[in-house]
Structure 1
Amino acid sequence: MDKLIQITAGRGPSECNWVVAQVLKAFIIDLKDHKITHTIIQKEQAGVTAVQSVILSLSGKELDAFLSNWIGTIQWIGKSPYRTYHKRKNWFIKLQELPQVATTSFHEKDVKYQAMRSTGPGGQNVNKVNSAVRATHIPTGIQCVAMDSRSQHQNKKLALQRLKARLQTHHLELLKEQAVSKWEQHLRVERGNPIRIFEGRDFKHQKKNKSYASKRQALKNDLKNESWD
């Protein structure tokens, strides 16, 4: 079963958007290493080298096992790439699974066709013959019109093609709306006990240390210096 994954900075500052972009690169490399295909459905850029939020669709074997090492809070340890003298060195983002949006199976039997009189230039034949076609997808009410050709049959084919494309766009819009809703529920990313830790400008992956006692004071200092932009 395919999975929908969102990587988000929540309401984190610009540094967190930079971290999202770096995590996205590392995540895609890991996907390829595990032969998992991905499609970026939606990406909210926050500058040339920063991303506020991105949604990916994943397809492959053993996705649950793969994602068990990624889903959760992700930490980056490093100096701000934007504010040289900023004291904070710990930055957090979130990688989460989104519930699937129910899709409406497309069947041509659910499409209603209506002949129309073409309008505009094209000669007397275009204006007099009902060659244009409106295609309506009954379950959703989405419509498309084609009047490119003098042939009603050809216009019917064009209307159907456009209807399929519009339904696909409609589905992507539902995914985006869902992502926004999910993002608003997680405006502040949970900090502490990260599933993955990266450090340095080269974004080197640090194996998770089961003991976080040594990091607690550093995290407390960062929280004191934290400034959400």
Structure 2
Amino acid sequence: MKTKIIQISAGKGPAECEYVVAKVLRIFLLELISNKIDYTILNRETGIENGTIQSVSIQLKGNHLADFLKNWLGTIQWIGTSTFRKFHKRKNWFVGCFEVDEIPAFVGNTILEKDIQFQAIRSSGAGGQHVNKVSSAIRAKHLKTGIQVLVMDSRSQHQNKKIAIKRLQEKLEEFTLDEAKEQLKNQWENHQALERGNPVRVFKGTDFNVVKKDKSFKSKRNKLKNDLRKQLE
């Protein structure tokens, strides 16, 4: 399974664009579920108005992510009347869907023992007169991040080692998600790079019905024929 981080952003757009982000997010999540793609919302910046979202970052995990994202990455257009300024003349609103750089991920990936430094130490605390005579406790340190855990749950060194690997995995996943949230909080490039032309998705009306692109190019061909006919007359 592959992992990607996606950001849906209103850029510097007004409250209407933040309204669109909230609506698009719901559709995006429903499509993730129907395509059996796991997701985690890493960061969500609320908009000015109630129920709106300025920016949201989502971590995706699954197969064929590139194929799924072909229909999402880029500019998304909504055609509709402002829900906040009913007499506003503008009818076209744009938001962006971007793939962002991902930090080294430990989420869902089993860490290798070669990346862990183990140290056997004597257990301390309650346990009778024999507890300190055997070095059964294990300190495990992840070499790449410096994160470490100390396990003394069992009198078995082997068992404590297994527990240490599991707990180290959990701490690394938590560390990874925290790092991703911080990275995405500070990533404003996408808010500035929102392109208003050539949308990959177009929605219309308050129900956000999908406007399908005409892939037959029939209307374009007819226009070319008419132009050619006029030139020959």
TM-score (norm 1): 0.70
Matches of 2:51 and 2:199, distance apart in 1? 23
Bigger drift between 68-77 and 93-102 goes to 93-102
| Equivalent residues of 1:3, 1:59 under 8 A apart | yes
Matches of 2:92 and 2:130, distance apart in 1? 67
Q: Which stretches in structure 2 are left out of the alignment for 5+ residues?
A: 220-233
Matches of 2:69 and 2:115, distance apart in 1? 37
| Equivalent residues of 2:116, 2:142 under 8 A apart | yes
Q: Which stretches in structure 1 are left out of the alignment for 5+ residues?
A: 212-229
**Match of 1:184, as an amino acid?**
W
Matches of 2:29 and 2:61, distance apart in 1? 10
Matches of 1:117 and 1:150, distance apart in 2? 10
> What is the 5 A alignment of 1:1-229?
2=2, 4=4, 5-32=6-33, 35-46=35-46, 49-51=51-53, 52-61=55-64, 63-83=65-85, 88-103=90-105, 106-118=111-123, 122=126, 125=129, 128=132, 130-149=135-154, 151-180=156-185, 183-188=187-192, 189-208=194-213
Distance 1:141 1:67, change over 3 A: same
Matches of 1:15 and 1:132, distance apart in 2? 58
| Equivalent residues of 1:9, 1:53 under 8 A apart | no
The higher radius of gyration belongs to: 2
Deviation digits for residues 173-193 of structure 1 (CA, Å, limit 9, x no counterpart): 343344345x41122322233
2:224 is matched with none
Matches of 1:126 and 1:12, distance apart in 2? 68
Aligned length: 207
Matches of 2:12 and 2:121, distance apart in 1? 50
Matches of 2:154 and 2:85, distance apart in 1? 59
| Equivalent residues of 2:118, 2:139 under 8 A apart | yes
Matches of 2:46 and 2:207, distance apart in 1? 20
Identity %: 44
Please list every run of at least 4 consecutive aligned residues from structure 1 whose deviation after the TM superposition is greater than 6 angstroms. Answer: none
Instruction: Please report how far the alpha carbon of residue 87 of structure 1 lies from its aligned counterpart in structure 2 after TM superposition.
Output: 5.2
Instruction: Please report how far the alpha carbon of residue 195 of structure 1 lies from its aligned counterpart in structure 2 after TM superposition.
Output: 1.9
| Equivalent residues of 2:43, 2:185 under 8 A apart | no
TM-score (norm 2): 0.69
Distance 1:156 1:67, change over 3 A: closer
RMSD: 3.4
Matches of 1:55 and 1:89, distance apart in 2? 28
Matches of 2:201 and 2:177, distance apart in 1? 29
